[in-house]
Amino acid sequence: MHLAFPCPAPGHTVEWSGFDAPWVRDMAACAQDPVYHPEGDVWIHTKMVCDALVALPEWQALDDNAREILFAAALLHDVAKPTCTRVDGGHIRHPNHSLRGAVRARRLLWEADAPPKMREQVANLIRYHQAPFFLIDETDPLRRAARISLVTRCDWLGLLARADALGRTSPDRARILDQIALYEEYCRELGCADRAWPFPSSHSRFLYFRTPERNPYYHAHDSSRFQVYMMSGLPGAGKSTWIRKHRAEPVVSLDELRVELRLGPGESGSLAAGRARELAREYLRRAESFVWDATNVTRDLRRKVVDLCVEYGARITIIFVDTPCKRLYRQNRARPAPVPEPVLGHLLDRWEPPDMTEAHEVLWITREGNPDLTSQ
């Protein structure tokens, strides 16, 4: 287990005596609303969820890697509740804890040197861990299920949700389990329980997630005329080095513009971003392929660039450079202008790697020895 907490073997129970970390202590000190969690604080609930998960026959039948991914997701599924706690009308709430929990778990696993694929599976299970409770009642459940299927396995998410429901003593537990069963059956009927939704083409997929009420079966005509390569990755990951080795197109570099505008690493980058958009528009008007070189660590930042580029008929490829923790800090310190570590920590607390809903193609570059290029 990459958090130094062992995942039990099938038929064994969790040994809780060795669990101690700052995030564990934070959960143990975090109260929950007794209406929904009469069992107690977040850590009590988490232990009950993990115990319920390892007792499920479906979990025990999985291979070692899948069991470890699900156990880590159960262990961390509510890790952000302490920072999301609000009291509203006398009730304890934890708004956005799923989304923020995915980001928090990603950082913990990255710092623990977990393999990138495992790390992202865990983070996405946490991001969507409440979806099976409500998906069947949503206005467009197919869109939600298809989105989930592109970043994790819908059947694994169902197992995590069942453990989450079993790990509480609330009076509506039976209703929640019924909702989860409906979600699981719905995903099986769609054919995306254990695989990604089969879009007719990458362009069809790209347009589907940009257009409400679009038919996911429709094979959209691709009229894109040129290519925009958008880099994504933490400072010091090696994005610019990769560009020099693998791309010949002109580059719009926010780092170079910051130097040109004499902005320090911790200063606002709005001036550099504005200048970058001006330069990008020059290439876009000419329908000329280019590379956008910036950290782009959040979906919102990437979406703004994508929105600009698709207006001109561009095809979008996001290239994500994923570098291990120790190596990234070492490379950042070796830069001519290192990013201050508090600034890097702030970026880590917002870090959302790209997924296949955001672009025509997402290329994932792991930098664990060799810079292998793989498609997500």
pLDDT tens-digit readout, 207-262 = 999 999 899 999 999 999 999 999 999 999 999 999 999 999 999 999 888 888 77
Cβ of 333: how many Cβ atoms within 10 Å? Answer: 11
238 and 176 housed in the same domain: no
Buried b (16+ CB within 10 A) or exposed e, 69-107: bbbbbbbbbbbbbbebbeeeeeebbbeebbebbbbbbbb
Angle between helices 299-310 and 270-285 (to 10 degrees): 30
Q: Residue 142: inside a domain, yes or no?
A: yes
Q: Is the pLDDT of residue 373 over 50?
A: no
Q: Residue 136: inside a domain, yes or no?
A: yes
151 and 266 housed in the same domain: no
pLDDT in tens, 138-167: 999 999 999 999 999 999 999 999 999 999
Chain-centroid distance of CA 271 in Å reads 28
Per-chain mean pLDDT for the chain: 93
CATH of the domain at 106: 1.10.3210
CATH of the domain at 325: 3.40.50.300
pLDDT number for residue 370: 40
Rounded mean pLDDT of 23-38? 95
Rounded mean pLDDT of 335-343? 89
Dig out the tokens for 239 from the structure. Answer: 């994005």
Spatial separation of the C-alpha atoms in residues 312 and 216, rounded to whole Å: 24
Tracing tokens 């209406």 back to the chain, one arrives at 35
Spatial separation of the C-alpha atoms in residues 102 and 121, rounded to whole Å: 10
Instruction: Name the residue range of residue 305's domain.
Output: 226-375
| Three-state DSSP state, 62 | coil
Spatial separation of the C-alpha atoms in residues 105 and 72, rounded to whole Å: 9
pLDDT number for residue 198: 96
> Is 175 in contact with 194 (CB distance < 8 Å)?
no
Q: Which residue has the higher pLDDT, 120 or 17?
A: 120
20 and 157 housed in the same domain: yes
Rounded mean pLDDT of 321-350? 93
Q: Is the pLDDT of residue 268 over 80?
A: no
The pLDDT confidence band at residue 335, using thresholds 50, 70 and 90, is confident
The pLDDT confidence band at residue 14, using thresholds 50, 70 and 90, is very high
314 and 177 housed in the same domain: no
145 and 237 housed in the same domain: no
116 and 54 housed in the same domain: yes
- Which is nearest to 294 in space by CA: 314, 267, 272? 272
167 and 260 housed in the same domain: no
160 and 230 housed in the same domain: no
- The β-bridge relationship of strands 226-232 and 91-93 is unpaired
pLDDT number for residue 345: 95
Q: Is the pLDDT of residue 204 over 80?
A: yes
pTM: 0.94
257 and 330 housed in the same domain: yes
236 and 348 housed in the same domain: yes
pLDDT in tens, 46-70: 999 999 999 999 999 999 999 999 9
Total domains, the chain? 2
Q: How far is CA 102 from CA 73, 294, 335, 348, 351, in A?
A: 9, 22, 29, 12, 9
